[in-house]
Chains A and B, each alone.
Chain A
Amino acid sequence: MTERPDDRTTSAVRPYVITGGRADAGVEPLSWESLVMAAETAPPATLQPEHRTILTHCQGLLSVAEVSAHLGQPPSVVQVLLADLIGWGLIVTRPPIPPAERADVTMLRKVLHGLESRL
């Protein structure tokens, strides 16, 4: 695991500039494993480039973490941009498991079954 100073973002723009200075989306952020995908709605021509880039990466289902990795932006930034896009109806989500269901027996059985079938 590596740690490095924050001068390695692939974008020349600092993250807080991209989000317009917002540190969060004002709502409970999407978790890192939440699955997102571009909606079929055509994006408006006025869309910010960072939002547009997300849409081009989301032509199929991806987690927030994967979008973040493909964009080279921290999840905290991607969470804000995705919340914008969801609000505009340009991104749809598949619900992740809410924290309250951590001990959900049905989900754990599915995971166990899926893992056992890998052997």
Chain B
Amino acid sequence: MASKAASEASGALSSGKYVNSSVAGAAKIMVVGPLGVGKTTFIGTVSEIKPLSTEAVMTQAGASVDVTVDQAKATTTVALDFGRMTLDGELVLYLFGTPGQQRFLPAWRDLARGALGALALVDTRDLTASFDALGHLEDLGLPFAVAVNVFPGSPVHSDGELRAALDLLPETPLVSCDARDERPSVLALIALVRHLLLAAESS
């Protein structure tokens, strides 16, 4: 199998549906935040594939706080959009967009297992909408960075005001990005991974 895989490395497969066969391992980062904060936009901007969607099944127990769920149903599903970045041809990084609301927490547990960390997207027009997502990350003990997705007309706050409002630890990175733009979006991921690396090296 290995020789077949090697011969495919330079073929059409490398830019299509399949992961380049030179890739030896995978990692994942969660992109979290409330509805409409720009998770799928962010993922689409940096992903080499059109974002895909998969449906995690949740039990009614997990959805019980959601009054909009059809109470007659035993399960609901939540769509998780995700994308893929092949890094240096040897590693593939998956980015999973994960909705922040309380009712989606069960979907987080399976997904967060093995995640390097999370990028929390924040919309300054509604900071409170991000509280659930940040709380879940803290509960799961998953290290994260915060990226403000700047929308036209977003109120401008100082970093200090934002840190205070979001109750961030001093070491938690806080960056701004436009999720439609590749460079600032990649820079936001770099800020996260630098933070993870610092934490890993000091432990």
Residues of A near any B CB (own CB < 8 A): 1-6, 8-9, 15, 29, 31-35, 37, 39-40, 59-63, 65-66, 68-70, 74-76, 92, 94-99, 102-105, 107-119
- Give the Cβ gap from B157 to chain A, nearest Cβ, in Å: 25
* Contact residues in A for B79 (Cβ distance below 8 Å): 1-4
Any chain A CB within 8 A of the CB of B35? Answer: yes
A66 near B52: Cβ-Cβ < 8 Å: yes
Any chain A CB within 8 A of the CB of B131? Answer: no
Q: Which of A1, A31, A115 is in CB contact (< 8 Å) with B113? A: A31
Nearest to B8 among chain A residues (CB) is: A60
Q: Tell me which residues from 29 to 85 in chain B have a Cβ below 8 Å from any Cβ of chain A.
A: 35, 39-40, 46, 52-57, 69-70, 73, 75-82, 84-85
B56 near A75: Cβ-Cβ < 8 Å: yes
Q: Mark B184-200, 1 if CB is under 8 A from A, else 0.
A: 00110110011011011
- Give the Cβ gap from A90 to chain B, nearest Cβ, in Å: 12
- Give the Cβ gap from A64 to chain B, nearest Cβ, in Å: 9
Nearest to A98 among chain B residues (CB) is: B114
Count of A-B residue pairs with CB < 8 Å: 190
* Contact residues in B for A117 (Cβ distance below 8 Å): 87-88
Nearest to B79 among chain A residues (CB) is: A2
- Give the Cβ gap from B50 to chain A, nearest Cβ, in Å: 11
Any chain A CB within 8 A of the CB of B110? Answer: yes
* Contact residues in A for B19 (Cβ distance below 8 Å): 35, 60-63
A60 to B97, CA, bound (A): 24
A92 to B92, CA, bound (A): 17
A35 near B92: Cβ-Cβ < 8 Å: yes
A118 near B186: Cβ-Cβ < 8 Å: yes
Q: Which of B20-28, B146-154, B161-169 contacts A (4 or more CB under 8 A)?
A: B20-28
29 contacts between A and B (CB under 8 A): A1-B81, A5-B70, A6-B55, A6-B73, A9-B55, A32-B96, A33-B94, A35-B23, A35-B26, A40-B1, A60-B19, A63-B26, A66-B17, A66-B84, A70-B17, A74-B55, A75-B110, A102-B115, A102-B116, A105-B197, A108-B193, A111-B27, A112-B190, A112-B193, A114-B93, A115-B93, A117-B87, A118-B46, A118-B87
A109 near B197: Cβ-Cβ < 8 Å: yes
Query: Given the known A-B contacts A103-B199, A108-B193, are A31 and B13 also in contact in the complex, defined by CB atoms under 8 Å?
Result: no
Further pairs besides A31-B113, A110-B87, A114-B93: 5, Cβ < 8 Å:
A63-B92, A96-B25, A111-B91, A111-B93, A115-B87
